[in-house]
């Protein structure tokens, strides 16, 4: 099949090393370049870690109690290496930015003052924040002393956090978690590599860094994957042929499969279409012959859209109200003469059905745009508008 041949021709290009390069997200050798966000919650962390200070030494941990003054919590994005101080905001964000450093206004105590609990672990109570109060801000803040409060402008101490991340073992811990996550993604990607496109994606992603040698195994799946695609296309073709029961559907089937016909079904579809068209032409010719060869005394019928006015049983100011019911009119008559393509008919019955009504009528107004038909009236009409009853 042309589609499968195209996939086979394209696939070797996917396996070339030049297509992927060195991707730090899939390598197991290169460490990420770590940085610290100046914001709080600006970079969604993939995982939370704790930094615990004992004396002058910081140590990274996967658990910790942030109600303690010597414990800090950070989030690390395992994809980008961005470290974010995971604390609450201050009393309010000042809205000013010094370079790219976000600043927060704090009124509650000094950093690390011991007034910390799970609800107020914020930039104001973190040891990994620094004061950035300008002289002008300090002067304005002195007014708060009158109310027993201290006002400070605080920011994330990015330099300190980055230094602690290296010396505390945080980065090593993150790298282990990152490699584990990469391994899980690697195995999940391999497990899902069961179709030509998913196999192609797996090979393109891991061919330059294949820690467990799964790329050759993925490539070995390709023949079966292509065979499954081919079989599915064959079954779809068969199903579409069986459901092509009208000329329109057969034309659509032929247009779709004439360039991709693994079981040579298109010629059968063309033969079926030809038979249908010939049968339809014969039926139409027979119908016209019947219409054109009416005999005197033949009973004939003609139908069309119609309506009747039905009483509602309600009178308004003495006037009975009606509602219009739409349906179909059926006129019955007998042939009394013919002339070319015209036929003379004596009307013998008029019937209306619709809206739950089935009733005989004495007359029918608006016939073919204006004529009124009555029982026993004689009309001339086109022979093609009257079928045998």
Nearest-Å Rg of the Cα atoms of the chain is 43
Distance CA 179, CA 174 (A): 8
**pLDDT given for residue 21 in this prediction:** 33
**pLDDT given for residue 138 in this prediction:** 56
Distance CA 170, CA 181 (A): 16
Output 11 or 342, whichever has higher pLDDT: 342
Q: Provide the edge-to-edge strand list for the sheet that holds 152-156.
A: 92-98, 101-106, 152-156, 129-131
Output 253 or 31, whichever has higher pLDDT: 253
Distance CA 276, CA 270 (A): 10
**pLDDT given for residue 307 in this prediction:** 87
**pLDDT given for residue 308 in this prediction:** 87
Where residue 166 falls among pLDDT bands split at 50, 70, 90? very high
Distance CA 375, CA 389 (A): 17
Q: Is 350 exposed, middle or buried (0-12, 13-18, 19+ CB in 10 A)?
A: buried
Which is it for the CA torsion 20, 25, 30, 33, positive or negative?
A: positive
Neighbouring C-beta atoms of residue 152, cutoff 10 Å: 25
**Is residue 14's pLDDT more than 60?**
no
Summarised one tens digit per residue, pLDDT across range 240-297 is 999 999 999 999 999 999 999 989 999 999 999 999 999 999 999 999 999 999 999 9
**Is residue 113's pLDDT more than 70?**
no
Per-residue pLDDT averaged across 375-379, rounded?
Answer: 94
Per-residue pLDDT averaged across 66-92, rounded?
Answer: 88
**pLDDT given for residue 12 in this prediction:** 43
Cα–Cα distances (Å) from 7 to 11, 221, 226, 359, in that order, read 6, 14, 9, 67
Per-residue pLDDT averaged across 98-115, rounded?
Answer: 59
Where residue 89 falls among pLDDT bands split at 50, 70, 90? confident
Distance CA 330, CA 300 (A): 10
Q: First vs last Cα of the chain: how many Å apart?
A: 54
Cα–Cα distances (Å) from 157 to 84, 88, 160, 161, 365, in that order, read 11, 15, 6, 6, 93
Distance CA 140, CA 155 (A): 18
**Is residue 131's pLDDT more than 60?**
yes
Summarised one tens digit per residue, pLDDT across range 150-160 is 677 889 999 99
Q: Which of 51-55, 111-115, 204-208, 237-241 has the lowest mean pLDDT?
A: 111-115
pTM (global) more than 0.85:
no
Cβ contacts of 62 within 8 Å, gap of 6 or more: 49, 50, 173
**pLDDT given for residue 172 in this prediction:** 96
Summarised one tens digit per residue, pLDDT across range 183-230 is 999 999 999 999 999 999 999 999 999 999 999 999 999 999 999 999
Where residue 366 falls among pLDDT bands split at 50, 70, 90? confident
Measured at the CA of 361, the angle between CA 360 and CA 366, to 5 degrees, comes to 135
Per-residue pLDDT averaged across 100-124, rounded?
Answer: 66
Summarised one tens digit per residue, pLDDT across range 317-365 is 889 999 999 999 999 999 999 999 999 999 999 999 998 899 999 999 8
Distance CA 354, CA 363 (A): 17
Q: What average pLDDT does the chain have?
A: 84
**Is residue 29's pLDDT more than 60?**
no
**pLDDT given for residue 20 in this prediction:** 32
């Amino acid at each position: 099949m042309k589609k499968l041949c195209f996939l086979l021709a394209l696939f070797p290009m996917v396996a070339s090393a030049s297509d992927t390069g060195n991707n730090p997200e899939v390598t197991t050798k290169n460490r990420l370049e770590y940085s610290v966000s100046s914001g709080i919650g600006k970079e969604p962390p993939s995982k939370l870690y704790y930094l615990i200070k004992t004396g002058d030494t910081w140590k990274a941990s996967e658990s910790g109690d942030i109600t303690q003054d010597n414990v800090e919590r950070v989030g690390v994005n395992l994809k980008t290496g961005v470290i974010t101080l995971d604390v609450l905001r201050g009393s309010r964000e000042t809205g000013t930015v010094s370079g790219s450093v976000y600043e927060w206004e704090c009124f509650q105590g000094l950093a690390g003052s011991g007034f910390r609990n799970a609800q107020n672990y914020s930039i104001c109570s973190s040891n990994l924040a620094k004061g950035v109060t300008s002289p002008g801000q300090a002067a304005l803040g002195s007014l708060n002393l009158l109310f027993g409060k201290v006002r400070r402008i605080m920011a994330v101490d990015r330099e300190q956090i980055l230094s602690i991340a290296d010396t505390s073992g945080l980065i090593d811990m993150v790298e282990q978690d990152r490699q584990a996550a990469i391994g899980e993604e690697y195995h999940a990607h391999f497990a899902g590599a069961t179709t030509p496109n998913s196999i192609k994606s797996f090979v393109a992603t891991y061919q330059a860094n294949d820690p467990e040698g799964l790329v050759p195994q993925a490539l070995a799946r390709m023949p079966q994957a292509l065979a499954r695609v081919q079989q599915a296309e064959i079954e779809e073709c068969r199903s579409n042929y069986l459901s092509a029961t009208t000329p329109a559907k057969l034309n659509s089937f032929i247009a779709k499969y004439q360039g991709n016909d693994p079981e040579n079904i298109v010629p059968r579809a063309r033969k079926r279409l030809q038979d249908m068209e010939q049968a339809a032409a014969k039926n139409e010719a027979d119908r016209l012959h019947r219409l054109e060869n009416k005999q005197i005394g033949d009973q004939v019928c003609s139908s069309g859209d119609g309506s009747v006015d039905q009483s509602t049983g309600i009178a308004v100011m003495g006037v009975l109200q009606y509602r219009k019911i739409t349906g179909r009119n059926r006129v019955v008559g007998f042939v009394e003469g013919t002339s070319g393509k015209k036929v003379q008919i004596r009307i013998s019955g008029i019937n209306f059905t619709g809206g739950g009504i089935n009733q005989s009528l004495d007359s029918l107004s608006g016939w073919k745009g204006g004529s009124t038909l009555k029982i026993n009236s004689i009309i001339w009409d086109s022979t093609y508008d009257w079928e045998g009853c």
